[in-house]
Structure 1
Amino acid sequence: MKKNFTISWTVGANDGPVLLREFLKKKRISKAALTDIKFNGGALYVNGKEESVRKQLAASDIVTVIFPPETVSTHMEGIPMALDILFEDEHFLAVNKPPGIPTIPSRYQQNGSLAQGVLHYYECNGIEATFHAVNRLDRDTSGVVLIAKHRFAHSLLSQQQTAGNYHRKYAAIAEGEIVSPLTIDAPIGRNTDSIIERKVCEDGQHAVTHVTPLKKLSAIEGTLIKLNLETGRTHQIRVHLSYIGHPLAGDDLYGGSKDYMKRQALHSSEAAFYHPFLEKEIIVKAELPEDMMKWID
C-alpha cells in the first residue's frame, strides 16, 4: 500500500471565512494539483471530514490535504549507485552528481543515469517516490542536483525557479586569463546546424551570466572563475564563455581544448532555496571534483 503525502494547516483568525478553494490557492496548491487530488486518489478534509473545494472555512478549522500516491515510472528501473548526499529530509534530496553520468536517461545513454541511482536509493530505503528533478545538469557537468520527493514539493520549487528565487552558483575553469568581473548579456538560441549545440543569436532567449575571476591557473593557461546566472538557458555558461573567447577547458563542443580536462570544467557548487515546509533558506554546497582541483592546487 503506497503512502500518500499529507499536509495540514489551521485556518488563522484573519483567514476566515473563506472557501476551501481560495484557502488552498493561498497555500500555492494549483488548479492542476486540485484536479490531480480529486481524480487520482487524493482527498481534502476539514476537521476530519472529507469536503469539496466549495466548503466554507472558519477560523480554527483544520484543513488536511492528502495528495495522490507517487507512481514510479514503469519505463525506468533503479540501478545501484553510490550517491554523495548533501541534504535530505522527507521533502527534498540534494546530491553531488559526478561528471560522466546524465541526470536522466537519454537516447544516447539509456542506463546509468542519476535518476536511476536515486530510484534504487528510494527502493532500498522504503521511500515511496518517483524522480522529480528541480534542476538538471549536463552529463559532463558535476555538482548539486536538487530533487523533490513528491509532486507538491516539486511544484513549489518550480514556482521559485519561475520567480527567480532558486539560486545556483557555479565554479569553472575558463581558457585564457580573465582579469576582472564581467557580465555577459547575450541572447541564446538553437544552432540550426546541430540538434545539440546552442549559440548567441539576435532572436534567441534572453540570457545573463555574471563572471568573477578567482585565480589565475598558470599551469594550464586558464582562470578559475565563479558564475552566477540570472537565467537558465540550455548550455548558457558554455555558450557565453565561448562567445567572449574564453571557452571552458575540455569543452570541445564550444571551442575548448581537451589537453588538460577530458570534459567541460564546470561544476554546480551551490544551490540556495527557500524550504517551503521548514520555512527557512537552505544552502547546499558541493566541493570541487578531483579533476578540477588538481589544476587549482
Structure 2
Amino acid sequence: MIKTYTISDEIGTRLDVFLAGQEDNPSRASIQKMITDGAITVNNEVKRANYKLKANDQITMVFEPPTEIEVKPENIPLDILYEDNDIIVINKARGMVVHPAAGVYSGTLVNALLYHCHDELSGINGKIRPGIVHRLDKDTSGVMVVAKNDFAHNDLALQIGSKTAIKEYVALVHGNITEEKGIINGNIGRHPIDRKKMAVVTNGGKPATTVFHVLERYKNCTFIQCRLLTGRTHQIRVHMAYIGHPLIGDSKYCNSKNKFNIEGQALHSLNLKIIHPRTKEEMTFTAPIPEDMENLLKYFRQTI
C-alpha cells in the first residue's frame, strides 16, 4: 500500500507525529521503525523521525496493511538440540520460515512449535510470533532459542539486546578475502531503490557491526566465521556484499548466478551462547553444518 500526503497546515510538526495522527495509519512506534527502514520519504529523501515538516512537503509511505492471520499447530518434525520448562533450542532447517507473514501461513517454525509445545510458549510477541525471541532468515539454517514463557522471553531478549548472548555464524562467500580477520561497520536500512532489499546506507538506517575471521581459503571463495555485535535484518548478507564478498547462493545480494548445489545462501548459525534465564547457567549450543553446505566444503577442499 502507498499513501501520499502534501503538507499545508501542519508546518513545524514532527514527521512521525503527523503520520501517526492520520486515519488508519500504524502506531507512532511503527511509523518510527518505517522511517528508520526507509519506507517513508519526504520529497523522495529519507528523513529522521523528528524532521519538522515544511510547506508543500511531499510525504510517501509504503507499507503492508496488517491482516489477521490464524496460526494453527502443524505436525512438522523439529530438530531439537535442548528443551526444558523455560526454553527450547532448535536447529532450524534451511528453507523454513520462522513465523507466518503475508503469503506464508503454514509450514513455519511457529506452526511446528505450537504442535510440539501446545500452549507452552511466551505470548509477548502475540499470536503470530509466540516464543520467538530472535529470528533467522528463511534460507539460513542453524541454532535458535525459543522462550516457553514470558519470564524466559524477557530475560533472553535482554541478553540479546545487551549482546550478552553470543551468536556465531559460518558462511561461504565469493572471492578470496586476503585479511585474516576484520570488522565491518555500516548502517543498514532499506535499499534506496529496491525496497525489498536492505543496504548499507549513508543516511538513516541502524548501526550495524559484523566481526569476521577466515577459516579456510579456496580458489575462488572463502569460508568464514562471523559474530554479530548487532542484529539487523540480513546483516551478514548485506555487510559481506558491501565489502565485495557476497554469500554463495544468495540470490538477493549476489549478482552472480548460483552455479553451486545449494538452495539459498550458504549461511549457518553455528553457535549460540546464553545464560539460562532461570538457573543462570552458561550454556552453549551448536548446530551441525547442514549436508548441502558440508558437500560444498568438500568440493572446494578438493579443488584447491
Which amino acid is 1:107 matched to? A
Q: Does 1:278 align with 2:279?
A: yes
Mapping of residues 83-232 of structure 1, within 5 Å: 83-123=78-118, 128-129=120-121, 131-179=130-178, 180-203=180-203, 204-218=205-219, 221-232=220-231
> How big is the shift at 1:217?
3.2
Q: Distance in 1 between matches of 2:101 and 2:225?
A: 29
**Per-residue Cα deviation, 1:12-33 (whole angstroms, up to 9, x for no partner):** xxxxxxxxxxxxxxxxxxxxxx
Match of 1:263 in 2: 264
Are the aligned partners of 2:216 and 2:223 in contact in 1 as well (CA < 8 Å)?
yes
Q: Distance in 2 between matches of 1:129 and 1:259?
A: 41
Are the aligned partners of 1:198 and 1:234 in contact in 2 as well (CA < 8 Å)?
yes
Match of 1:22 in 2: none
> How big is the shift at 1:129?
3.1
Which amino acid is 2:209 matched to? V
Q: If the length of structure 2 is used for normalisation, what is the TM-score?
A: 0.69
Which amino acid is 1:178 matched to? I
Structure 2 SS opposite 1:111: coil
Are the aligned partners of 1:84 and 1:96 in contact in 2 as well (CA < 8 Å)?
yes
Structure 2 SS opposite 1:252: coil
Which amino acid is 1:79 matched to? E
Are the aligned partners of 2:69 and 2:105 in contact in 1 as well (CA < 8 Å)?
no
Q: Which moved more, 1:142-151 or 1:276-285?
A: 276-285
Q: Distance in 2 between matches of 1:74 and 1:91?
A: 26
Q: Distance in 2 between matches of 1:194 and 1:288?
A: 32
Larger radius of gyration: 1
Q: If the length of structure 1 is used for normalisation, what is the TM-score?
A: 0.71
Q: 1 or 2, which has the higher strand percentage?
A: 1
Mapping of residues 63-82 of structure 1, within 5 Å: 75-82=70-77
How many residue pairs get aligned? The number is: 220
Match of 1:32 in 2: none
Are the aligned partners of 2:139 and 2:263 in contact in 1 as well (CA < 8 Å)?
no
Are the aligned partners of 1:251 and 1:257 in contact in 2 as well (CA < 8 Å)?
no
**Superposition CA RMSD, Å:** 1.6
Structure 2 SS opposite 1:102: coil
Gaps of 5+ in 2: 1-67, 123-129, 299-304
> How big is the shift at 1:196?
2.3
> How big is the shift at 1:193?
2.6
Match of 1:287 in 2: 288
Are the aligned partners of 1:133 and 1:145 in contact in 2 as well (CA < 8 Å)?
no
Q: Distance in 2 between matches of 1:81 and 1:224?
A: 32
> How big is the shift at 1:122?
1.6
Q: Distance in 1 between matches of 2:279 and 2:271?
A: 19
Gaps of 5+ in 1: 1-72
> How big is the shift at 1:101?
1.1
Relative to structure 1, the CA distance from residue 75 to residue 295 in structure 2 (aligned partners, 3 Å threshold; closer, same or farther) is: same
Q: Distance in 1 between matches of 2:238 and 2:138?
A: 16
Which amino acid is 2:264 matched to? R
> How big is the shift at 1:187?
1.2
Are the aligned partners of 2:168 and 2:225 in contact in 1 as well (CA < 8 Å)?
yes
**Per-residue Cα deviation, 1:140-171 (whole angstroms, up to 9, x for no partner):** 11001110000111011111122111110001
Structure 1 SS opposite 2:252: helix
Runs of 4+, deviation exceeding 2 Å: 127-131, 192-196
> How big is the shift at 1:74?
8.3
